[in-house]
Chain A
Amino acid sequence: MASFWTPLRVGLVVAAAAIAFALGLYFIGANIGGEKSYRVFAYFDDATGLGARSRVQIAGIPVGQVDRIELDQQTARAKVWLKIRAQYVLHQDAAISKRSESILGDFLLDLTPGSASQPPLRDGDEIKNVLRQPGMNEIFQSLNKIAGDIQDVTGNIRKVLGTSEGEDNLRTIVANLRKITEGLSSVIDRSTEKVDTILGNVQAFTGDLRRISGNGESDVMDILRNTRDATAEARDILRTVGNVVGSQDQGELRQSVGSLRSSLEKLDKTLANVQQISEKINTGQGTIGHLVNDDKLGKNLDKAATALTDLFGSASQLRIEIQERSEFLIGNPSPSRTTSALANYSYNPWTKNYFSLRIIPKPDKWYGFELVDDPRGLTRRVQINNQFLDGTINNAFFPANVTQITTERQLKFSAYLAKRYGFISGRFGILENTGGFGVKFHLFNDALTLSADAFEFANPLKDHPRLKIYADYRFLDHLLITAGADDVVNRPIQDDVDKTRIISGRDFFIGAGFFFNDDDIKLLLSALPISRL
């Protein structure tokens, strides 16, 4: 039966084993947590001595290890994959070489990370610079060759000197050397005497000099006296110059000097003024001092610069898009379905055309302007109040109050603001001469746009607002095709006169168009002030 101590003892053993295992992992440097690293590869002609976990180092510091080695059968070279720790960045011009660590055949890889100006290597890239360093075998071979050369040289020397003739030659050489050194010795001996003679001559010369200076004492005194006179005269001259400069009555030179002095006094005053001004500026007095010492100016300048940067920055980001699109209205009664006499071809009720301009200061915001040619025309409600000059209140032909509803085909105008959030954008403003709004979904990298617009909220012929739903597909950078339904929720009303024209009600359409960004217009507009939304 399990005693109280049994689970405790078992737990003790398991805990001890776990600690032991963790210690073992620590000692072998196991990488449990998956230290971040990336893998690069290099091709080697010979991967002898390399294997998984071989060291890879930069300047002697381990930065990773060999991950695995494959044989590239096409080139018959070894493809060595390296696992480099993520904090060590290698560049495109990185170089690698295999180096023998000891004579036991222990190899490691030396890396040079490359220059920082080059782009960094990413996971799976190749290190192209593989430097080849001689292995121990080649070093031994080189040493072998050198030893052979030395052997040849010593062999030749032995041939020259090893024979009795060589020995005689050597003896002769030594004898010659002895003669040469003896000659040198005698030359040095003779030179010593000459040097002694030269020194004696110098001594005699200095003795002569002493004698001359002793005998010519009176001449020396004369020279000294002349010198004293000369200095006295020089002092007189200097005194005269001093008078000219310092007194008030010495002719033109005095005047010149006087004007120079006054100029100096003016300069002195000027400097004093400059000093005063600079002190005032320094203490913040006066306008300049205020400008210099108050940091408001600096802040204002900073703001102004920021505003300018924003302005020009937005101007440079600005994009102008011009679009033309035509929609072919499918649901309109075709001439074949009505009497040909009633068909009015000149009226062309089958296409609706848009010319639009989008000003896009930021990718998520734009202003749109559109000219729309809509065969449905513009519906107006006109209230007419007839007043008769003869006082008649009501007339069979001219009632006092008349309400007219007109549908007039004319160019319509749209102007709106749009803002985009992610793949959804919304717009509001004037849509086809009435207030309206719309929403768009931008899908597949903006190639496909699903749109819904609502406008004409107060059309007297309609029970509901005009709701237009359509999809645009943009392709080839400049072309679009479209399909959709217009005025989805209202009952159909046809033109009484031109039977082929729908005034109101649901209709379907397909269409196409083109659009482009106009850099010339962009440059023109960037020069104009643009208010920000």
Chain B
Amino acid sequence: MAEQPAARAPGVPAAWTKPLRAPLEVLGELSVFFGQAVVTILRPPYRIGLLFNQLEFMAYGSLFVVGLTGLFTGMVLALQFVYAFGLFNAQSLVGATVELGLARELAPIFTCIVIVARVGSAVATELGTMRVTEQIDALETMAVDPINYLIVPRIIAAALSAPVLTMLFNAIALTGAYGIAVLVKDLSPGTFLNRMQYLVEIHDLTNGLGKSAVIGFVVILIAAFRGYKAEGGARGVGIATTQAVVGGLVAIFAIDYIYTAITLSNPQPRGGLGG
């Protein structure tokens, strides 16, 4: 209903080129939106109250889900690794492997998946509804910059919440893994913790946190973009939400790969297995 490219003036590309143009158009619009958002971050007014509201919604509101996800992730990792390393009597590597996997990969990624599912969908729906009910237009009419008022607090809150939640995820998952390995599988605490101190480094933790901040920022930016550009009533809002979650998930893994490839581009060999 809203898409009527054929009715446009001459000089506009033909309708059949739309499937080819659409991804590039989305990428271009997203880039412009990203630029606008970044520029607006630096401009007053700074809406601290709105930022805290979003932080409460994203960080505090996600605590339970993140904690539960983390606990089960750690527990299942411990089970798998105790079994796998037990095949060749190397249970001493369980703790270090769990923590390396969590800190470098699982904690940031799982946390961001939770954020996309819980927060990204909400942001897209909320902004999409505001768009189709013309509340955003009303804001513009009142000379309030909607990007400053709606988008900036959300993306900043996401960039701050994601690492905070990742830290919690990491600690809770490690606790779960420790519980399973030591209490259930009868590994000695020393065996579990000893190798961790030799194989895990502080930049493993900080890399994970940096990764989660970047991914959190991007996925909420995508969700906000989808909601902000929603059109076509309730169905449009639904489509925007779906696109926000799918785009967010794809973005998580794509950024994860790029970020990891950059940070691992020149690693120093570690001690321990194989060099």
Mark A residues whose CB is within 8 Å of B. 1-2, 5-7, 9-10, 12-14, 16-21, 23-25, 27-32, 47-55, 65-66, 68-69, 102, 104-108
> Is B60 a contact of A23 with CB atoms below 8 Å?
no
| Chain B residue with Cβ nearest A28 | B200
Annotate B237-268 by CB proximity to A: 1 below 8 A, 0 otherwise.
00000000000000000000000000000001
Asked if B205 is at the interface (CB within 8 A of a chain A CB), the reply is yes
- What number of B residues sit within 8 Å (CB to CB) of A? 41
Mark B residues whose CB is within 8 Å of A. 49-50, 52-53, 55-56, 59-60, 63, 88, 90, 99, 103, 161, 163-165, 167-168, 170-172, 174, 193, 196-202, 204-205, 268-275
In the bound complex, CA of A30 to CA of B270 (Å):
15
| Nearest 3 pairs of A and B residues by beta carbon | A54-B271, A29-B197, A20-B171
- Starting from the known contacts A6-B56, A23-B171, A53-B201, 14 additional A-B residue pairs (CB-CB under 8 Å) come to A6-B53, A10-B56, A13-B59, A17-B167, A20-B167, A21-B170, A30-B202, A30-B205, A48-B275, A52-B268, A65-B271, A69-B268, A106-B272, A107-B275
In the bound complex, CA of A9 to CA of B268 (Å):
41
> Is A24 a contact of B103 with CB atoms below 8 Å?
yes
In the bound complex, CA of A18 to CA of B167 (Å):
8
For B103, the chain A residues whose CB sits under 8 A away are 24
Contact of B275 among A7, A21, A51, A108 (CB under 8 A): A51
> Is B167 a contact of A54 with CB atoms below 8 Å?
no
> Is A29 a contact of B273 with CB atoms below 8 Å?
no
For A50, the chain B residues whose CB sits under 8 A away are 269, 271, 275
For A5, the chain B residues whose CB sits under 8 A away are 56
> Is B55 a contact of A10 with CB atoms below 8 Å?
yes
- Which secondary structure characterizes the binding site on chain A? mixed
In the bound complex, CA of A30 to CA of B99 (Å):
13
B193, B197, B270, B271 — most chain A CB neighbours (10 Å): B271
CB contact under 8 A between A53 and B198, given known A13-B60, A69-B269: yes
In the bound complex, CA of A422 to CA of B156 (Å):
60
For A17, the chain B residues whose CB sits under 8 A away are 163-165, 167-168
Min Cβ gap A519→B in Å is 59
In the bound complex, CA of A16 to CA of B275 (Å):
36
For A68, the chain B residues whose CB sits under 8 A away are 268
> Is A24 a contact of B90 with CB atoms below 8 Å?
no
A24, A50, A102 — most chain B CB neighbours (10 Å): A24
For A1, the chain B residues whose CB sits under 8 A away are 49, 53
In the bound complex, CA of A196 to CA of B2 (Å):
131
> Is B196 a contact of A27 with CB atoms below 8 Å?
yes
Min Cβ gap B149→A in Å is 13
For A20, the chain B residues whose CB sits under 8 A away are 167-168, 170-172
Min Cβ gap B263→A in Å is 15
> Is A27 a contact of B63 with CB atoms below 8 Å?
no
Min Cβ gap A204→B in Å is 77
> Is B274 a contact of A13 with CB atoms below 8 Å?
no
In the bound complex, CA of A1 to CA of B54 (Å):
10
CB contact under 8 A between A28 and B52, given known A48-B275, A52-B269: no
> Is A104 a contact of B275 with CB atoms below 8 Å?
no
> Is A51 a contact of B272 with CB atoms below 8 Å?
yes
Min Cβ gap A61→B in Å is 13
> Is A28 a contact of B268 with CB atoms below 8 Å?
no
In the bound complex, CA of A235 to CA of B212 (Å):
118
For B196, the chain A residues whose CB sits under 8 A away are 27-29
> Is A2 a contact of B53 with CB atoms below 8 Å?
yes
In the bound complex, CA of A207 to CA of B59 (Å):
114
- Write 20 A-B pairs (CB below 8 A) sorted by A numbering: A2-B53, A6-B53, A10-B52, A10-B55, A10-B60, A13-B63, A17-B164, A19-B171, A20-B168, A20-B171, A21-B170, A28-B196, A28-B205, A30-B205, A31-B202, A51-B269, A52-B271, A53-B199, A65-B271, A105-B273
